[in-house]
Structure 1
């Protein structure tokens, strides 16, 4: 079974709740998506609202992967760069695959779908993302064609005494 990806799906209450559940479950499984466990849906809701506002304003696009039962199983947010000298690339944020689906290649499928979606946008030549060091995420993104282009040591404080590098990755699309 594979995931079915949709760019810019209709923002329904079911989709909103599915993304919120996914984000909560990924965070509580230790995923590097902006939170440290334990978290609740209510902890994550304000951040999701920010993403939804950016979507409504046309600054962010949502890529959703649904499993065979139609449940939200993966997401990535593609955020257009508004700086006039940098509109030729976009940011990829909040890349998530539900823990129950990990290890099946769905992360690679999600990254390929994100690259395909970005290629379909006018003038986009590259994707940038950041990831939390110390988890091996750089190796995953490198295996998807990204290369490390920068690193800020200790920029992410997961807990007192537990600082991680902020790793910048780039995927040229041309």
Structure 2
């Protein structure tokens, strides 16, 4: 499966529906994208709409990986409003549909996000936060990111199940 990546696509109803399905399905497959399974589209929809509003306002950028017309991967870059931090962006809500996992789609998505960040004037780095306990920091390290911070037990995914909040940085 070869994905075609599009930066800043026009968000049509079918694209929005594909993003919602990908986020929901990836979360239910165990993806650490702000939820703990089980999750329904009704749970995901308000957060998706919030991020799409930020895209429309220019506060976020969107990269989508498509297999034909099906969304198989997506991620957002969020600009900083703080005047002392405008030289880096946040990578957020990085997701790969379960049908595309294990085939290089995640790595290709991270390359596409890095490429978009490099095209943004004045941007020198990309930061992201990931949930510990899933090996995500190892994946992001393979994508060129370095661990620069860790808060033990900052993410509570369930009773008695606290995970580290790990900050990773990609210097451009």
Task: Indicate the residue corresponding to 2:78 in structure 1.
Answer: 79
**Alignment length (residue pairs):** 172
Query: Aligned partners of 1:92 and 1:71: how far apart in 2?
Result: 22
Matched, 1:10 2:1: no
Task: Indicate the residue corresponding to 1:66 in structure 2.
Answer: 66
Query: Aligned partners of 2:11 and 2:106: how far apart in 1?
Result: 23
Q: What CA RMSD, in Å, does the superposition of the two structures yield over aligned residues?
A: 0.6
Runs of 4+ in 1 over 4 A off after TM superposition: none
Structure 1 gaps of 5+ residues are none
Matched, 1:156 2:155: yes
Task: Indicate the residue corresponding to 2:135 in structure 1.
Answer: 136
Q: TM-score, normalised by structure 2?
A: 0.99
SS at match of 1:112: helix
Residue 62 of structure 1, CA deviation: 0.6
Task: Indicate the residue corresponding to 2:32 in structure 1.
Answer: 32
Structure 2 gaps of 5+ residues are none
Residue 38 of structure 1, CA deviation: 0.5
Residue 70 of structure 1, CA deviation: 1.8
Q: TM-score, normalised by structure 1?
A: 0.97
Query: Aligned partners of 2:50 and 2:72: how far apart in 1?
Result: 21
SS at match of 1:15: helix
Residues 31-62 of structure 1: CA deviation (Å, up to 9, x unaligned): 00000100110110010111011111110011
Query: Aligned partners of 2:54 and 2:38: how far apart in 1?
Result: 26
Query: Aligned partners of 1:5 and 1:113: how far apart in 2?
Result: 7
Task: Indicate the residue corresponding to 1:48 in structure 2.
Answer: 48
